[in-house]
Chain A
Amino acid sequence: MLTKGVPDFSEGAVSFDEDGHLERGKTPTVMNPNDAFALEAALQTRVRHGGHVSAMSMGPPGYGDVLREAMESVYADDTYLLSDRELAASDTWATAITVSSGVEKYREEVADVDLVFAGFKTADGETGQTGPQTCWALEWPIVTHVIALDIDPDERRLRAKRLVEGDVDEIETVEAPLPCMVVTDPEFEPTYRKAAHRLTHKELRAETQERAADHDEHLTTWDHVDLNLDPDYIGLDGSPTIVSSVDPIPKAPSEREATMIDPDDGAAMEPVLEELQPFAGGD
């Protein structure tokens, strides 16, 4: 399960300077909101089929809190943070290289992986590229825009419904062999129609509450040396993307003037009612 910390863009939390630039220092970091759907998908899969769930992120050491949040919502067994000065200012490409290395290291040293879940676009970059690029680096199949899924453990296949947006929204049903990567759509909704699944869910929640209380004990941090990554291919140096400048979106000029009228003021209301008269239905 891959997640990312992003600035909390919610009203009241986010802070911009005079030029409209985000003030990262003053804005708290939260788990990327779209990742919640991926967490739900990972949790549903675990509840139905069992297994072990780990959450992984890349970011500064403070992102431990984001992983704790992920642990609390996905009931993850443990968390992994890829964190290093050399990784700073990575674009989607460098991030994908790093994260895929993290997944590979996990497979070699922790456990084999059947599924990697990721959310749909982060709230800050909005590129939607990191997931597919990571998957490309892993050389796995990827299923995006997933709104429902199930696993056939005997056949080792994923079956999923994906939302295909176009002039008309279509729902496509696909299959993929394991291991594979799943990117959830914000329309994803977990379903628990079996009592046994709901009881498992409840049990996992109780276990996780205890685990999340001392999250640091379940957090593993890897730097570029651990990941065996060449600094030239990661971080700013490994990022081919160049953002030349960011311009604020100009406000649309107002074309109409508003006049405030007290609805109890009969005389002032009269012209309004006259204006509206032709539009009133009936007699």
Chain B
Amino acid sequence: MSANGSHENEYEHYEAVVVGCGPGGAAAAARLAEHGVETLVLERGVEAGAKNVSGGLIYAEDSAPYTIDDLFEGFREAAAERPVTDYRIHNIAGDKVKTYDLTDLHEHDTDWCDAVLRRKMDSWLQRRVHEKTSETGGGVLTNVRVNGLLREDSEGRVRPSEQSSGRSPRDGEIVGVTCDELDPIEADLIVAADGVNSELAREAGLMDWEEPDEWFQGVKAVVDMDPDAVNHRFGIDDDEGVAHLFSGDLFEDVRGGGFLYTNEESLSIGTVFHLDSLVAEQAEPHELLDALLTHPVLAHWTGDGYDEREYAAKLVPDSKKVAHREPYRDRLVLVGDAAGQMQAQGPIIKGMNHAVTAGALAADAFAITRGNADPEAAGRRYAKLLEDSGTMAKLRPKQYDLARTVAERDAVTNVVDGVLESPIGRVALGNPLADRVLERAYNSPLVVSMLPDTRTGYTTVPTVIGEARGKSIRWKNDAEPPSLEERIGDLTYDTDVGNPHIELRDDSAEASGAAVYACPVSAEAFGGGCYRTEQVKTNGDEETVVSLDTQPCVECGTCAIVADTAWEHPRGGKGVEFREG
């Protein structure tokens, strides 16, 4: 008998299944519902936003076909924090700081831009999406993890894909999804909006976790602050906010930078680095964050009474390299981070806006091609809409492809850096004329979109600017950020005891040792993190092996790239739960 009421091979069917209820999934689902499509949204968090982290700025671009407030009326008032009304970059060399106003770049093509905290934002979106999708026979379900694809073979048999470490041979047309908590579900459209570590994108063979240079890693602290203190310290009103960026030598040679955004009652302060650079420099992400948090430049803002609400981390795809030009296979389409749609436009990072556009376009593509017998009709149309709307050109700028072929060679970097660091270079960068030129260059969308990913742009130029033009600041920053142990202790976890979601396939230091420092919740000589090294004696020999405990995992995906793992998300509702995000 069947006590759970299921019958074999009679799967539930929805017209569309959307996996993930972040901005990309929410936009897709809302737009599908507007087209009258029966839409089921599956979210693995206890609530949308519980698994989501971002630096914290969402843009509404003038040129975008869809913005989030188009799709969700009242978004800015109900779900966002403060708008950004002042945008600056600080070039730092030691205690010298030279600040440029980046407002022109920030305002280029920008209708509005708000700071957000993802738990608040995404959970609000979830409620709206549930209202909209309920009207067309669907809805949002939380605590459900989609773990794979349902496929139909040439004889018409429908069954789950072979599950082998997240990658499987193509063994039939994609016709649905499989879940940890539910029986398989068939759908005419499957929207993978399951984030940067999309298991569906990897199972479909559309994305991988191979090259560290295709990714950034961000870590962030949300710092508690009374709204009056935010206003007073930044010289703003309740309906104003600031965005500050930081670059230069405060992160030594690690390529990347820092940010500070004002929320209604807190600050989001974080750092974002190229993952390959973190690995090459053997840098500890939490220490780089602390270098920013304790720098004199922050003394007036957070220097006294530093109170950290939450520490979080996230992997960021570099769309210039990984944004998939044809993000579909069969009935599956990828949107947002899952498709690598995260644009780093020089210092400005835009991700959520592109996810919203992509989600809505995927929905439109399905509506246009509804009833077409070709399973890839919607996917093909979606890719065309991404291209025609100019979205793909923003994600993968042509000028970058031209510039990188020359500029990202080490020899070029070394020569350029050598000149810049020489007395001539210092004079050139350091004179008042250069100052104006540089401020303009920073503010040029064209120039910043072609900046090569070398230490020149991230470290050398800002450092020389800071040294030559900067003023020394001697403020005292008394902030004492929590230790990594305290940060982990403050996070909320629902551990899936006895069922770790990451398996270390190769525990040698060569294969997986990088995770010990690159993982944002692990550190050399810290035993309480995910990864650690141990000396093991075998037959008189002593070797170093890496061991893993997934309990403190923040599900960022770093180790999927820098270590040899079989990486999956935890089951629905399990693992870390972000309260701020």
Contacts and interface: CB of A to CB of B under 8 A. Distances in A.
B86 to A, nearest CB: 42
A12 to B, nearest CB: 25
Nearest to A148: B3
Given A193-B181, A193-B182, A194-B12, A160 B3 contact: yes
Contacts of A192: 182
B3 A195 contact: no
Interface residues of A, number: 18
Contacts of B1: 150, 159, 173
A196 interface: yes
A191 B4 contact: yes
A161 B141 contact: no
A150 B139 contact: no
Given A202-B139, A202-B141, A195 B4 contact: no
B147 to A, nearest CB: 14
Contact of A150 (B2, B40, B134, B185): B2
Contact of A159 (B3, B42, B130, B182): B3
Given A202-B139, A202-B141, A149 B3 contact: yes
A268 interface: no
B6 A195 contact: no
A205 interface: no
Nearest to A201: B141
A196 B12 contact: yes
Nearest to B42: A195
A195 B40 CA distance: 8
Contacts of A159: 1, 3
A198 B181 CA distance: 11
A193 B6 contact: yes
A150 B14 CA distance: 24
A127 B550 CA distance: 45
Per DSSP, chain A at the interface is mixed
B49 interface: no
A200 to B, nearest CB: 10
Contacts of A195: 12, 14, 40, 42, 141, 144, 182, 185
Contacts of B12: 194-196
A194 B6 CA distance: 8
B353 to A, nearest CB: 30
Interface in B173-195: 181-183, 185
A194 B138 contact: no
A48 B5 contact: yes
Interface in A181-206: 191-196, 198-199, 202-203
Contacts of A194: 5-6, 12, 182-183
A148 B4 CA distance: 8
Nearest to B184: A193
Contacts of A173: 1, 3
A192 B181 CA distance: 8
Interface string A52-73: 0000000000000000000000
A179 B6 CA distance: 23
B148 to A, nearest CB: 16
A202 B5 CA distance: 19
A36 to B, nearest CB: 19
Given A193-B181, A193-B182, A193-B183, A198 B141 contact: yes
Contacts of A48: 5
A195 B2 CA distance: 18
Contacts of A149: 3
A198 B14 CA distance: 14
Nearest to B130: A202
A193 B141 CA distance: 12
A199 B3 contact: no
B37 to A, nearest CB: 15
Interface in A5-28: none
Residue among B40, B130, B134, B139 with the highest chain A CB neighbour number at 10 A: B139
B138 A150 contact: no
B484 to A, nearest CB: 28
B139 A199 contact: yes
A203 B42 CA distance: 16
A150 B5 CA distance: 6
A193 B3 contact: no
Contacts of B139: 199, 202-203
Interface string A32-49: 000000000000000010
A198 B42 CA distance: 11
Nearest to A159: B1
Contact of A193 (B4, B40, B130, B138): B4
A192 B14 CA distance: 17
Contacts of B14: 195
A193 B6 CA distance: 8
Nearest to A151: B5
Nearest to A198: B141
Closest 5 pairs between A and B when the two form their complex, measured CB to CB: A148-B3, A199-B139, A193-B183, A150-B5, A191-B4
23 contacts: A48-B5, A148-B4, A149-B3, A150-B3, A150-B4, A159-B1, A160-B3, A193-B182, A194-B5, A194-B6, A194-B12, A194-B182, A195-B141, A195-B144, A195-B182, A195-B185, A196-B12, A199-B134, A199-B138, A202-B130, A202-B139, A202-B141, A203-B139
Given A161-B3, A193-B6, A198-B141, 20 more contacts: A148-B3, A150-B1, A159-B1, A160-B3, A173-B3, A192-B182, A193-B4, A193-B182, A194-B12, A194-B183, A195-B141, A195-B182, A195-B185, A196-B12, A199-B139, A199-B141, A202-B130, A202-B139, A203-B134, A203-B139
Interface of A: 48, 148-150, 159-161, 173, 191-196, 198-199, 202-203
